[in-house]
């Protein structure tokens, strides 16, 4: 609307000017090169305008003729670019739909029409992958890494190819190179962290975690938990060779994640072995209040090496009062009481949990109590049968894998901090399992005839499938307890009778 108004005003002004010149008398004389020209002002003005229009026309014609070749080239280029983009579009659609022939055809067209376009290289690599030509795909990705604009795309493609071929070391190198080039790239940081955890490169994983934190790719609470797990893994490796370092790492891990059981257990064991029983007990109790666990109870009971089983029982009884889970506290007290041959205390601790369907560990402890206190074969048989059918006890479980010990990563997926202390998936039984009676018979026989139990196990290879030490013969009243710690006995039992993985 504004342009139209301006145009009308200009035309009106020109018309008024021409009318004014026409109505105004006057002549114009020009003497040039011996010529004399007499004309009116109006005619001179019109001649000047006509001359200007001719000059403009000639200039436009010359400019058109001069720029015509480049204009033709630009037209050809645009047409070529349009066809190339169409080939890219159709090629990517073909890749997405799994059409190998169309993907290959459009990839060739795009490469011919747009050879330097990043998407052209990507389409070619995807078409090669679709056809199963890994060599060609890797070659394209390698070429992409030579150009700054496509380097990250090429590195990711090489990383994915390496992962598909299970070349984890090559994949790690590609991810590390990508992270160095562009630290804010989330996929490279996460991929490198995962691969470092898989190969137990705890120091490298900690450095990568620092990068993720600086780039704000991970929440602060998650980062603290992961750091604690990594420090605990380092402490596990150093516990046998460098106890001072293991102690420092475990304490730092517990500070970051106070409920992390392995960190507190390692710190407690190391400090107890170094004679720092008071601080060891304090560290273990702190985690026990948040996350009670049998490993913590064992470590707390043995914070002062050389104590008698009764002294360990008193210590565990003190720990029980801080337990947020009554069952864990009761089992810990009952276990320590059995080791100390305090049968009534053990029975009293388990009394609230023996009705209905008690857990398997309660049943096995009751069998030990019945066999150790009175040698009642019938009661032992009953508790053993109930133990077989009882709900499964909690265990370290990750991705369906059940372990007797905590591990920093899952052996199935390699995920960090995957193990949880929970009851594994129940097995389905038909209800007529003769194993119930057979196991009970063998265990009762061991309790009734302890002098022949070891021989039977040695002669019969199938006897390895039967619970042995926890239902062993009663000890004499002056026997201070089994050799080694309760943790060692538990580890031996779990090694021989591992829980099924599903």
The 3-class secondary structure across 100-168, one letter per residue, is HHHHHHHHHHHHHHCCCCHHHHHHHHHHHHHCCCHHHHHHHHHHHCCCHHHHHHHHHHHHHHHHHCCCH
pLDDT at 14: 75
Averaged pLDDT for residues 192-197 = 94
pLDDT of 297 over the 90 cut: yes
Question: Which whole number is the average pLDDT over 405-414?
Answer: 93
Supply 423's token pair. Answer: 């009851």
Q: Give 19 or 456, the one with higher predicted confidence.
A: 19
Q: How far apart are CA 301 and CA 340, in angstroms?
A: 12
The mean pLDDT of 360-378, rounded to a whole number, is 90
What span, in angstroms and rounded, lies between the C-alpha atoms of 480 and 308? Answer: 6
The pLDDT score that the predictor gives to residue 461 is 37
Measured CA to CA, the distance from residue 443 to residue 363 in angstroms comes to 13
**317's tokens:** 């009884």
pLDDT for 289 equals: 94
pLDDT of residue 22: 67
The confidence score (pLDDT) of residue 21 equals 66
State residue 174's pLDDT score.
93
Residue for token pair 């389409």: 123
Provide the angle, in degrees to the nearest 10, between the axes of the packed helices 277-290 and 243-256.
Answer: 30
DSSP SS3 for 354: coil
pLDDT for res 407: 95
> What's the whole-model pTM score?
0.69
Per-residue pLDDT, averaged over 379-383, amounts to 90
Least-confidence region, from 78-92, 116-130, 264-278, 455-469: 455-469
Residue carrying the six token digits 């009751």: 366
Q: What is the pLDDT of residues 245-295, one digit of tens each?
A: 999 999 999 999 999 999 999 999 999 999 999 999 999 999 999 999 999
Query: Alpha-carbon distance 371 to 18, whole Å?
Result: 130
- The pLDDT tens digits for 8-64 are 888 888 777 767 766 666 777 778 777 777 777 677 777 788 888 888 988 888 887
- With beta carbons less than 8 A apart as the criterion, state whether 297 and 328 touch: yes
Q: Check residue 23 and give its pLDDT.
A: 67
H-type alpha helices, 351-449: 360-373, 377-389, 435-448
Q: How far apart are CA 488 and CA 455, in angstroms?
A: 23
Is 70 exceeded by the pLDDT of residue 433? no
Q: Return phi, psi of residue 449, to 5°.
A: -125, 70
Question: What would the pLDDT profile of 86-118 be if each residue is shown by its tens digit?
Answer: 888 888 898 888 888 888 888 888 888 888 788
pLDDT interval class at 308 (50, 70, 90): very high
Rg of the chain on CA atoms, in Å: 43
Cα 367-370-371 angle, rounded to 5 deg: 85
CA dist 5 → 11, 127, 386 (Å): 10, 58, 100
Q: In what order do the strands lie in the sheet with 420-422?
A: 401-403, 395-398, 420-422
**Per-residue confidence (pLDDT) for residue 469, from 0 to 100:** 35
What's the pLDDT at 290? 94
416 has pLDDT over 50: yes
What mean pLDDT is predicted for residues 453-467?
36
First and final C-alpha spacing in the chain: 79
The residues that bridge with 420 in the sheet, in sequence order, are: 397
334-338, 438-442, 465-469: range with highest mean pLDDT: 334-338
Strand-pairing partners, residue 401, are 398
Q: What is the rounded CA–CA span in Å between residue 406 and residue 261? A: 9
- Could you tell me which residue, 205 or 322, shows the higher pLDDT? 205
Task: Please list the residues that pair with 37 across neighbouring strands.
Answer: 30
Contact 342, 348 (CB under 8 A): no
Rounded CA separation 244/230 (Å): 17
- How buried is residue 245: exposed, middle or buried, by Cβ count under 10 Å (0-12/13-18/19+)? middle
> Whole-number mean pLDDT of the chain?
81
CB of 341 closer than 8 Å to CB of 351: no
Q: Confidence band (pLDDT; 50, 70, 90) for 343?
A: very high
Helices (H), 199-355: 202-214, 220-238, 243-256, 261-273, 277-290, 294-301, 309-320, 326-339, 343-350
What does the pLDDT average to over 338-361? 91
CB atoms within 10 A of CB 111: 19
Contact 445, 453 (CB under 8 A): yes
């Amino acid at each position: 609307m504004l342009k139209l108004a301006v145009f009308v005003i200009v035309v009106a002004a020109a018309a008024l000017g021409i009318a004014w010149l026409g109505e105004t008398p006057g002549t114009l004389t020009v003497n040039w090169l011996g010529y004399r020209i007499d004309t009116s002002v109006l005619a001179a003005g019109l001649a000047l305008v006509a001359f200007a229009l001719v000059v403009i026309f000639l200039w436009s014609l010359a400019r058109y003729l001069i720029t015509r070749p480049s204009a033709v080239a630009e037209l050809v280029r645009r047409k070529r670019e349009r066809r190339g983009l169409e080939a890219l579009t159709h090629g990517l659609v073909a890749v997405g739909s799994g059409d190998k022939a169309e993907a290959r055809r459009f990839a060739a067209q795009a490469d011919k029409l747009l050879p330097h376009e990043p998407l052209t290289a990507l389409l070619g690599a995807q078409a090669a992958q679709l056809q199963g030509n890994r060599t060609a795909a890797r070659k394209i990705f390698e070429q992409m890494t030579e150009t700054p604009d496509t380097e990250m795309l090429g590195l990711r493609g090489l990383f994915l190819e390496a992962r598909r071929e299970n070349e984890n070391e090559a994949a790690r190198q590609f991810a590390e190179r990508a992270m160095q080039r562009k630290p804010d790239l989330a996929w490279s940081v996460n991929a490198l962290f995962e691969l470092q955890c898989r190969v137990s490169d705890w120091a490298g994983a900690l450095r990568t975690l620092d990068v993720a934190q600086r780039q704000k790719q991970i929440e602060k609470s998650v980062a603290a938990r992961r750091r604690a797990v990594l420090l605990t893994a380092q402490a596990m490796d150093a516990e046998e060779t460098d106890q001072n370092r293991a102690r420092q790492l475990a304490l730092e891990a517990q500070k970051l994640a106070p409920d992390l059981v392995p960190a507190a257990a390692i710190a407690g064991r190391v400090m107890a072995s170094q004679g720092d029983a008071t601080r060891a007990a304090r560290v273990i109790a702190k985690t026990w209040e948040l996350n009670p666990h049998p490993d913590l109870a064992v470590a707390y009971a043995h914070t002062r090496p050389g104590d008698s089983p009764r002294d360990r029982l008193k210590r565990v009884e003190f720990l029980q009062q801080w337990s947020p889970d009554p069952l864990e506290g009761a089992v810990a007290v009952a276990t320590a009481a059995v080791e100390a041959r305090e049968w009534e205390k053990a029975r009293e601790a388990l009394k609230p949990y023996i009705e209905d369907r008690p857990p398997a560990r309660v049943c096995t402890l009751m069998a030990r109590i019945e066999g150790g206190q009175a040698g009642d074969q019938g009661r032992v048989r009953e508790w053993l049968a109930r133990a077989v059918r009882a709900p499964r006890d909690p265990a370290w479980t990750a991705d369906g894998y059940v372990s007797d010990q905590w591990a920093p990563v899952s052996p199935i997926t390699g995920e960090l901090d995957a193990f949880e202390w929970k009851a594994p998936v129940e097995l389905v039984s038909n209800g007529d399992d003769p194993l119930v009676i057979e196991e009970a018979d063998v265990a009762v026989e061991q309790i009734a005839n302890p002098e022949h139990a070891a021989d039977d196990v040695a002669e019969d290879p199938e006897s390895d499938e039967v619970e042995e030490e926890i239902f062993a013969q009663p000890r004499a009243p002056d026997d201070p307890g089994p050799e080694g710690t309760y943790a060692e006995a538990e580890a031996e039992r779990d090694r021989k009778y591992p829980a099924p993985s599903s």
